[in-house]
Amino acid sequence: MHDSPYSLTEARVLFELAHAEPMETGELRGLLDLDAGYLSRILTRFEADGLIVRERSATDARKQVVRLSEAGVRVFQALDARSAEQVERLLAGLSEGGQERLVAGMAAVRQALGEPGRPEPYVIRAPRTGDLAWVAYRHAELYHRDYGWGTEFEQLVCRIVGGLDLSRDRGWIAEAGGERVGSVFCERGDGVTAKLRLLLVEPSARGLGLGRRLVEECVRHAKDAGHRRITLWTRDCLVSARRIYAGAGFVLESAEQGTENGIEVVDEMWTLDL
């Protein structure tokens, strides 16, 4: 490994010993899932090379405790530095965005293959440069994937996004793990009636209560701004979104048959008196 006399498995043993207090050989074997005889041969070689010190456990004389010697620390540090240099060379050819996508992809793989953990916390912030383009892109992509809506729907979303005036309208972008995962906007309308626009929650962030939280932000702002009511447009097939709107107090005001990309839809208008 890295032009050294040590294999990948041997380097992994050095890595674990470098990042732990003196460790019992049984604990090391269980951690790495190694055959007892194989690990014994590795440790014997390390001891002959002066890389480790093996001692009897102070609490159980039947057990051995292993730690790196000063020479072992130096060998590990050299391997670690060469590994970092290799990774740096691999990443050097990628743009900053490419590096971010690579790291995000690696994190996704670890999450998919690892033990279920706590949901990642999210933050809600004001829109920044690039956010509006992301909102339009993700609406078009997700609704095409899930419902088959095509270019006409994408153009509609682009018109809605293009009509926002963030000097008077308000918006919120949700982030988790440094990635955008949600959006909603409050369009001022005629000053009396505001409009809730472009609610979106990424599939990876659903089930966290994020959609409800974004709607609450929008409704609270509309109240604080002095609006008397707030309206929104949705479709009957968006079951999860409709559930969120109903939970926030919106009521269905009207429904009308329509089509989207040749697919029959029901357009709905919902309202909430503030």
List Cβ neighbours of 150 (8 Å cut-off, separation of 6 or more).
144, 260, 261
| 123-168 confidence digits (pLDDT tens) | 999 999 999 999 999 999 999 999 999 999 999 999 999 999 999 9
Q: Same fold for the domain at 8-93 and the one at 122-273? A: no
| Domain ranges for the chain | 8-93, 122-273
In terms of DSSP bridges, do strands 193-201 and 179-187 run parallel, antiparallel, or are they unpaired?
A: antiparallel
Q: What is the architecture of the domain spanning 8-93? A: Orthogonal Bundle (1.10)
Range in 94-103, 195-204, 247-256, 262-271 with the lowest mean pLDDT: 94-103
Using a 10 angstrom Cβ sphere, with 0-12 exposed, 13-18 middle and 19 or more buried, the burial of residue 171 is buried
| 163-204 confidence digits (pLDDT tens) | 999 999 999 999 987 889 999 999 998 889 999 999 999 988
Judged against a pLDDT cut of 90, whether residue 121 lies above it is answered with no
pTM of the model: 0.62
In terms of DSSP bridges, do strands 122-125 and 64-68 run parallel, antiparallel, or are they unpaired?
A: unpaired
What is the per-residue pLDDT for 166? Answer: 92
Fold entry, domain 122-273: Aminopeptidase (3.40.630)
Tokens representing residue 132 in the block: 């509006």
Residue 89 dihedral angles phi and psi, to the nearest 5°:
-65, -40
